[in-house]
Structure 1
Amino acid sequence: MAEFDHGPWTVGEAEDETPVRKTGRERVGETLRDRILSGDLAPNERIDLDAVAEEFGTSRTPVREACLSLAQEGLVRVAQRSGVIVIGVSPETIMENFTLMAALSGVAGQWAAERITPRQLLRVRELHREIRVAVQSGDDFATLNWLFHREINKACASPRLQSMLGDAGRMIPRRFFDLFPEHVPCSMDEHDALVGALARGDGAAARQITEQHFEGAAQLLSAHINSLSSSASAN
């Protein structure tokens, strides 16, 4: 399967293009970013460049390049003597990230409800059914969920908005449902409501449902990061 940015919400693409294989720097950067955002890499933890290079079967160069990109995003600090140190994210930053994604995705949902074509709606419904089957059978549904939201974001027919979603989406952990499987039933209910709003052409409802899709998720992740920080301080 081609490589996608799996996650609870899509980053959206303007055209239906076949994704290109990612470079070593991109793969390392995405993995480290996800580990930082999900709390697997804690603040003040040092990233071992040699260990990461060995994990990905690459040289130190793409690992260091990936860390420099993460430094520009404010997730790590690169120092000549101390190496690469994780800055991490605070619960407040997580809430801020989700708020931005909620606002952008809400607009995308509203525009999609107003502009979605019958063919796009059929595809959204197909993906929705496939997600439900995957959840019930215990199969991995991350890719299907990504495609579901990607199709909705494409239906908003705004390449500019899709680009903005892509920038904001990088700050949302791809492993969200791995961290919080209990959130899946709630998400499926929200998917049901969202598909209904799209079918009715109800832009206001689609926007409200999409924004609510983020509220509980933000609180879960914020509490998770706060718990990890408290445990680290206690130790």
Structure 2
Amino acid sequence: MAEIDRGPWAVGEATDETNSPKRKTARQRVCEVLRWRILSGELPPNSRIDLDVVAGEFGTSRTPVREACLTLAQEGLVRVVQRSGVTVIGVSPESIMENFTLMAALSGVAAQWAATRITPRQLLRVRELHREIRVAAQSGDDIATLNWLFHREINKACASPRLQAMLGDAGRMIPRRFFDLFPEHVPCSLDEHDALVSALARGDGLAARRISEQHFDGAAQLLSRNVQSAASGTTS
């Protein structure tokens, strides 16, 4: 699966063979898990990452763990200092809000373009995924992957590889398992999905853009409070 297929945030892995977790390198697997732990607040600012402990957890050597930490350092999430180890920098509530604002704008444009460019086949797939998400939510099953596929299908329908690539880059800085953190946010998201599918079906680009932008507002507030709580040592 091409990298441009990712987004609007990485909330699960697709199930097709080209994106199988088995095809990921040890560095990629470690990087994704550590990024998730940092962004979700599980690894708070100023905590240390023990390379040996992480290597043991993943059954690998220190080398891919260190390479993963160097990638996270480039993203501004950790500090790697020779002889001092790896220290988590983390993210502030302000930076989270800033990133969600960017994601909202990009996703809004993607939805607006998709409303006029989506094919009947793509719209059918979006509808199918929407129904599957509702069924999964009602039965208490995991909806993260289905949600990821739902939004990916809309982003692909915008027919802009450049915009899809920008969404993928920004999406890496948002926890891929968002609904694991905030299950209470699911009903609101599903209602927004209803409105978004309706806007796409009638070709209303402006409505699709507005709904997509609003889709991130509540999510941004929830995640920001979570990170703030983790930083202050309190519970949200």
1:82 matched residue in structure 2: 84
Aligned equivalent of 1:227, options 226, 229, 233:
229
Report if the CA contact (8 A) 1:45-1:86 is conserved. Answer: yes
Alignment TM-score, normalising by the size of structure 1? 0.91
CA contact under 8 A between 2:130 and 2:193: conserved in structure 1?
yes
Corresponding residue for residue 57 of structure 1 = 59
- Cα deviation for residue 179 of structure 1 reads 0.7
> Does the aligned pair in 1 maintain the 2:7–2:151 contact within 8 Å?
no
Q: Which residue of 1 aligns with 2:132?
A: 130
1:54-80 superposed Cα distances (whole Å, 9 cap, x missing partner): 111111000000000100111000011
User: Which consecutive residues of structure 2, in runs of 5 or more, have no partner in the other structure?
Assistant: none
Q: Which residue of 13, 25, 31 corresponds with 2:27?
A: 25
1:208 corresponds to: 210
Deviations 1:128-150 (A, max 9, x none): 00000000001111111110001
Give per-residue Cα distances to partners, 1:64-102, cap 9 Å, x unaligned: 000001001110000112100000000000001111111
Runs of at least 4 residues off by over 6 Å: 5-8
C-alpha separation in 2, matches of 1:182 and 1:123:
26
5+ residue gaps, structure 1, are none
Supply the distance in 2 between the matched residues of 1:6 and 1:138 (Cα, whole angstroms): 25
Alpha-carbon RMSD? 1.8
Which residue in the other structure is 1:9 paired with?
9
Q: CA deviation at 1:8?
A: 7.5
**Matched residue type, 2:34:** L
- 1:35-184 to 2 correspondence within 5 Å? 35-184=37-186
Deviation at 1:10, TM superposition (A): 5.3
SS at match of 2:195: helix
TM-score relative to the length of structure 2: 0.91
In 2, Cα distance between equivalents of 1:117 and 1:19: 24
Q: Percent identity?
A: 83
How many residue pairs match? The answer is 224
1:83-130 C-alpha deviation (Å, 9 max, x unpaired)? 000000000000011111111011000000010000000000000000
